[in-house]
Amino acid sequence: MGRGDDGLWALMRAERSALAEDLSTLSADQWRHDTLCGQWDVEQVVAHLTAAASLNQWQWLRSMCGARFRPDVHNQRRLAEYRGDTPAATLDRFRAVIGSTTAPSGHTAAYLGEVVVHGQDVRWPLGLPRKPSIEALTPVADFFARRDFAVASHTRAAGLHLRADDGPFATGSGPLVTGSTLALVMSMAGRAPYLDQLHGPGVPILQARLDGSTA
């Protein structure tokens, strides 16, 4: 990845801070707006991010055991736990974990990816213009292309040559898919709206893979 964990945590703090700033401008209706993350609205996505920054390995394992290793059940329970009584309270809880280095495992790039992807899950439907930095996006793209973790990113990227046109990210061999690092990251994460920002003969293959999976 070219960065140690300290560098990745610094990038994560910056991305959380930027998201908190964007969230501070939202109206009550916007907090209830749909996102790119399934059935979750904006406030639910933010509560999920707070939960992700609050659970260490053993807390995560206990939660998963209690959910009988059903990730959806685990996520819903922790989301409810970290959601406030009001959107303002939910935002305060998120602000409290901006500097957190707590995570269920040592896959720091994956947790940076959670912040990057879920931040855009919120921003895209609301038309918020801010984008993550190339410095944050590049290690996430590298990690997503190498392995499946929370999303089936490696499976979607397999057999394709992915190349960013705005940064150093490039990986794989096969039909070319090119575009912004953000569009590549979000497409590997299964967010179909970003496919329109990609080009090359590999795009239909990537499109078919997204059409066949909601992970």
pLDDT in tens, 183-199: 999 999 999 999 999 99
pTM: 0.92
Class of domain 5-126: mainly alpha
Do residues 17 and 65 lie in contact, with contact meaning Cβ atoms separated by under 8 Å? Answer: no
How many whole angstroms separate alpha carbon 187 and alpha carbon 172? Answer: 15
Percent of the chain residues past pLDDT 70, beyond the cut: 92
What's residue 150's pLDDT?
Answer: 86
How many whole angstroms separate alpha carbon 180 and alpha carbon 197? Answer: 7
φ/ψ region of 60 (left if φ > 0, alpha if ψ in -120 to 50, else beta) reads alpha
Least confident span in 62-76, 79-93, 188-202: 62-76
What's residue 60's pLDDT?
Answer: 67
Domain residue ranges of the chain, discontinuous segments joined by +: 5-126, 139-211
What's residue 64's pLDDT?
Answer: 66
Q: What is the mean pLDDT of residues 12-20?
A: 98
Task: Scan for tokens 């969230």, then name that residue.
Answer: 23
Of the candidates 100, 91, 118, 108, the residue with the CA atom closest to the CA atom of residue 25: 91
Q: For the segment 112-149, what is each residue's pLDDT rounded down to a tens digit?
A: 999 999 999 999 999 999 999 999 999 999 999 999 99
Q: Is the dihedral of CA 82, 87, 93, 95 positive or negative?
A: positive
Query: What one-letter code names the amino acid at 15?
Result: E
